[in-house]
Amino acid sequence: MHYVNPEALVSTGWLAEHMEDSDLVIVDASFFVPGGTAPAKEKYAEGHIPASIYFDINKVADPDAEQDHTMPSAAVFGVKVGALGIGNGSFVIAYDAMGGGCAAARVWWMFKAFGHGRVAVLDGGFAKWKAEGRPLTQEITEKPAKTFAASQEALDQVLSKADILANIDKPAYQVVDARSAGRFAGSDPEPRAGLKSGHIPGSRNIPFGTLFNADNNTFKPASSLAADFTDAGVDLSKPMATTCGSGVTACTVALAAHLLGKDDVAIYDGSWVDWGSDPDTPVTTGTAD
């Protein structure tokens, strides 16, 4: 069994060979929980892949939203990524501290949602690049601004709390939670203060970290990924929505599904920050039903 959409990933070897491509834009999309982008920027300053620019998901976001890194409008996205030097002809390679679990997959999903197909995630991420002894730099790259015209249809792939509430009584989506098994069950505390423990009733659990090979943070082979979905009770032939803590690792599950050929995955953008902070939302504990 092979990936249906292997172009969503590039290897460290491929990137090393294509560093000088004129249309290539490399972005470091690292994001940590807890901490967010602040510690990620510090790590970027200490050393990063040459010519890469830091992609702050909290800035390429809806400026009026209460929650961090909320999906922006097409107009805002176009202005923000254009200012980074990304145009419609750019081939964007996103990497993070893992292989796609620390916001590289979120960046991949955002570009795809806004109609930009020339985007991929560095398989294995920064850790694999560094472990292989490949070059690092502290030099900050600044690119001239470009024009980026984003599709207006992106928000069709973003679900709200109202959508998820309606889905409980009349299921239209299989809801897949990317948080750890302990957080899903409610046995482990949430890393963000003030949130309830447990999960959305009827949801399934695929902890995003289980999608990677443990030795190098690359995505597991297609057959293993397919088994992860099957074992969680998820049918890839049916509509699916993913959720997580704040809308980041939900995109890692969406990327894994895309590798297997599933392109119709919606994201609950507010995720558990939105759901778990509302005293009126229903919560279930324990394993999936």
**Local confidence band at 154 (pLDDT 50, 70, 90 cut-offs):** low
Annotated active-site positions, please?
244
Distance CA 55, CA 66 (A): 20
Ranges 62-76, 81-95, 142-156, 210-224: which has the least confidence: 142-156
Is the Cα torsion angle 100, 263, 93, 104 positive or negative in sign? negative
C-alpha 144, offset from chain centre:
26
Question: Tokens 């092979």 map to which residue?
Answer: 2
CATH class of 6-153: alpha beta
Distance CA 244, CA 250 (A): 5
155: its two tokens: 């928000």
Stated pTM of the model: 0.96
Domain range list for the chain: 6-153, 155-276
Distance CA 84, CA 226 (A): 36
Which residues partner with 121 through β-bridges?
A: 9, 94
| pLDDT value, residue 262 | 96
Digit-coded pLDDT (tens) for 228-286: 999 999 999 999 999 999 999 999 999 999 999 998 899 999 999 999 999 999 999 99
Edge-first strand listing for the sheet containing 204-205: 158-159, 265-268, 240-243, 174-177, 204-205
Q: 33-49: string of b/e by CB count within 10 Å (b at 16+)?
A: eeebbeebeeebeeebb
Question: CB-based contacts of 75: which residues, under 8 Å, 6+ apart?
Answer: 150
Q: 81 near 119, Cβ under 8 Å?
A: no
Digit-coded pLDDT (tens) for 99-152: 999 999 999 999 999 999 999 999 999 999 999 999 999 999 999 999 999 987
What angle separates helix 104-113 from helix 250-259, to the nearest 10 degrees?
A: 70
Q: Where are the beta strands (DSSP E) in the chain?
A: 9-10, 24-28, 53-54, 91-95, 119-122, 158-159, 174-177, 204-205, 240-243, 265-268
Model confidence at 35: pLDDT above 90: no
**Local confidence band at 155 (pLDDT 50, 70, 90 cut-offs):** low
Task: Tell me if 6-153 shares its fold with 155-276.
Answer: yes
Q: Which fold does the domain 155-276 belong to in CATH?
A: Oxidized Rhodanese; domain 1 (3.40.250)
